[in-house]
Chains A and B, each alone.
Chain A
Amino acid sequence: MTDLSVKLPGLDLKNPIMPASGCFGFGKEYAQLYDLSKLGSIMIKATTAEMRLGNPTPRVAETSSGMLNAIGLQNPGLEKVFGEELPWLDQFDVPIIANVAGSLAEDYVEVARTISKAPNVHALELNISCPNVKQGGITFGTDPNVAKELTRMVKDVSDVPVYVKLSPNVTDVVQLAKAVEDGGADGITMINTLLGMRLDPKTGRPVIANITGGLSGPAIKPIALRMVYEVRRHTKLPIIGMGGVAEVDDVIDFLSAGANAVAVGTANFVNPFVCPELIDKLPERLHELGYESVQELTGRSHRL
C-alpha cells in the first residue's frame, strides 16, 4: 500500500495534491463535481480585509501552452470569507490553507489574525506575489527585507503556521526564500505567476485590460521546477511546489526537485477533475518508479 500522506507544519495531508489559490474559488463550483474531502488540502482564493471587485475585463488571455490572468484579487472580503465561505467548507474533511492578501502590512495582519482562528484553517499562505494589483501583492515579495518584516508581523498574530508564496519575478528567488525563513516562515509555496503580456496583432493593443497579467500553465513548469530545486538546496523549510502541474509526472517532478506537496492551478480550468485524477494515479506511478511513499521520493533529485 503506497503511502501518500504528508505531514507539514499545521497540515496533516492525506495526499500531497491540492488546488492552488485563485484557481478553485472557495470550493463551491468544484464541489458540484466531486467530493472535496478527497483533496490533500485546498488553498482558497486570496482574502483581503475589504471586499474587492478586481480588474476590468478582459482578465484572461490564452498563450502558448499557458494563459495570462489579471483578475485583481477579486474576493468578498474577510467578513464573508470567515463567516460564510469557511463554515461552508467545514462540511468536508480537508484542511484549508487561507491565502492572505492586502495593500498595506496592516491589512495582512488584520486578515491573518482573524482568518487563522477559523477551525478549518490549518495554515496561512501569505500572498506577497500577486502581480496584478497596484499596491501590495508583489511589492512585498520582491524586496527581501520587506518580505521578512511582513512575515514576522503575520507570524506574530497568526494562530496557525504561515507559508509564504514566492514570486518568480525576482532575480534571486533563493534570497527571498531565506529572507522569509529569517522572518519566521513555517514553509514556502512557490511559484506565483510570471508577469507577461499578449498583444492583438491587428491593433497592437494588449489583450488584457490590465495590460500585463500573470502567466501560468504548462508553459511555466520548467521555471517553477528550477526555482523549487534551487530553493530546496538552500533551505529545509517545507515547500509546496506549483507551476504548470497538469499530469502525474509533473507531480513526480516537483516532489523530486524537493517539494513536499504539490498544488495544481490552471489545469483545473482545462480538466476540472484533474486533482482527484492525479491523486488516483499517484500510487501506481510511485510504485512503477520503485517508491512506496511520497516522502521517500521527495527531494530525490538532490540525492543523485
Chain B
Amino acid sequence: MIKQEKMAIVSQIEIAKNIFELTVSGSLVQEMNEPGQFVHVRVADSFEPLLRRPISVAKIDKEASSFTMIYRSEGRGTSLLSQKTERDTLDVLGPLGHGFPVDEAGKKAYLIGGGIGVPPLYELALQLNARGVETVHILGFESSEAVFYEDKFRALGDTHIATVDGSHGTEGFVTHILNGLPNDFDTYYSCGPTPMLEAVQWAYPEKKGFLSYEQRMGCGIGACFACVCRTTRSETDYIKVCSDGPVFPAGVVIS
C-alpha cells in the first residue's frame, strides 16, 4: 500500500563523489517488499522546487523500520536533498511501482547496473542470496571516484567493475565485461541508463531478463501520463514506467 510519511533521517553520508547514501526510518518501511520499487521524495516544504524526486530503494531493513536510498546530487532538487541532516525529516511517498521478480531468478543470476542504476540491485542481491540464488554483479561507473558499494556487492558474490575512463576495474562499459563472462546464468536483472539496458538486451536475446527503466515523471503513481512508453505487444499498447514498472521483462518496452 502507498503511504505518505514524514520520515526521520537516520543518516546521510557522501559515499562517492556526489553520491549520497540516505537512510530514513518510519512505518512506511513495513509496506516495502520488492527490490526495485522506488519512493517519491519531496525535497522542500515550499513549492520551489515543485515536484517530487523519484529515488530507488537500495536497502530495506524492516527490523529497524528503515530504508536506504542512494542518489547522485546533480540538479537543484538532489543538491537540496543532500544538505538534509539527522535534524530534518523527509516527506516520502511510497513504496511505488513494481520491482524485480525474485522468484524468477533460477539458480544463478547476473545483476547488471550502471551508475545511479546500481543501488536497487543491492537490495535485489540481498534478497536473491537469501533465497540461495548465486548472484554475479557487473557494475559500471564513470570513474573510480564514482564507484560505491563495491565491497558490499563483493560480500554477496562475484563482482566486476567497469569505469568509462579505466581508472578502476575494466576500462569501458559493462558490456565489455559481459563479453568475457560465461553464459551459464538463468536470469539477468539490469538497471541503468537506457543505452545500457538496450545493449544488455542485445547481448542476451535468449535469456530471461528484467530491466528497470527511467523516465521523467510527474505524479509517480500513474495518474499524469508523463512517463509513458510504447511496447512491442501492439501498435496501441503502452506502459507507464512509474506504476506499471519501473521493472519490465526484457523485450517489452520500446525506449
Assuming A54-B228, A269-B224, A270-B50, is B243 touching A60 (CB within 8 A)?
no
What is the chain B residue whose CB lies nearest that of A19? Answer: B223
Is B47 in contact with A25, judged by CB distance below 8 angstroms?
Answer: no
What is the chain A residue whose CB lies nearest that of B230? Answer: A53
Chain B contact residues (Cβ within 8 angstroms of A): what range?
Answer: 20 to 34
Return the CB mask of A35-75 against B: 1 if under 8 Å, else 0: 00000000001000001011001111111111101010010
Is A60 in contact with B50, judged by CB distance below 8 angstroms?
Answer: no
Is B216 in contact with A29, judged by CB distance below 8 angstroms?
Answer: no
Q: Which of A226-255 contact B (CB under 8 A)?
A: 246
Any A CB within 8 A of the CB of B226:
yes
Is B225 in contact with A64, judged by CB distance below 8 angstroms?
Answer: no
Give chain A nearest CB distance to B134 CB in angstroms.
37
Any B CB within 8 A of the CB of A32:
yes
A residues in contact with B236, CB < 8 Å: 51, 53
Assuming A32-B1, A33-B2, is B228 touching A217 (CB within 8 A)?
no
Chain A contact residues (Cβ within 8 angstroms of B): what range?
Answer: 35 or more
B residues in contact with A88, CB < 8 Å: none
Is A218 in contact with B224, judged by CB distance below 8 angstroms?
Answer: no
Give chain B nearest CB distance to A219 CB in angstroms.
8
Any B CB within 8 A of the CB of A24:
yes
Task: Choose among A28, A59, A272 the residue that contacts B4 (Cβ–Cβ < 8 A).
Answer: A272
Any A CB within 8 A of the CB of B51:
yes
Is A54 in contact with B225, judged by CB distance below 8 angstroms?
Answer: yes
Give chain A nearest CB distance to B97 CB in angstroms.
12
Report the bound CA distance from A270 to B77 in whole Å: 13
Is B218 in contact with A60, judged by CB distance below 8 angstroms?
Answer: yes
Report the bound CA distance from A66 to B226 in whole Å: 15
Give chain A nearest CB distance to B53 CB in angstroms.
10
A residues in contact with B229, CB < 8 Å: 57
Report the bound CA distance from A114 to B148 in whole Å: 57
Give chain A nearest CB distance to B76 CB in angstroms.
9
Return the CB mask of A10-29 against B: 1 if under 8 Å, else 0: 00000000000011110011
A residues in contact with B48, CB < 8 Å: 64-65
Any A CB within 8 A of the CB of B172:
no
Report the bound CA distance from A270 to B225 in whole Å: 15
Any A CB within 8 A of the CB of B193:
no
Any A CB within 8 A of the CB of B49:
yes
Is B225 in contact with A59, judged by CB distance below 8 angstroms?
Answer: yes
Report the bound CA distance from A63 to B229 in whole Å: 23
Any A CB within 8 A of the CB of B227:
yes
Q: Which of B167-198 contact A (CB under 8 A)?
A: none
Any A CB within 8 A of the CB of B10:
no
Report the bound CA distance from A199 to B50 in whole Å: 18
Report the bound CA distance from A51 to B238 in whole Å: 12
Report the bound CA distance from A185 to B71 in whole Å: 50
Is B47 in contact with A217, judged by CB distance below 8 angstroms?
Answer: yes
5 contacts between A and B (CB under 8 A): A24-B223, A28-B222, A51-B236, A62-B49, A269-B218
Binding site for A on B (CB under 8 A): 1-2, 4, 42, 47-52, 77, 93, 215-230, 236, 238, 243
Q: Which 8 A-B pairs have the closest CB atoms?
A: A25-B223, A60-B226, A269-B219, A29-B223, A58-B216, A218-B47, A29-B221, A29-B222
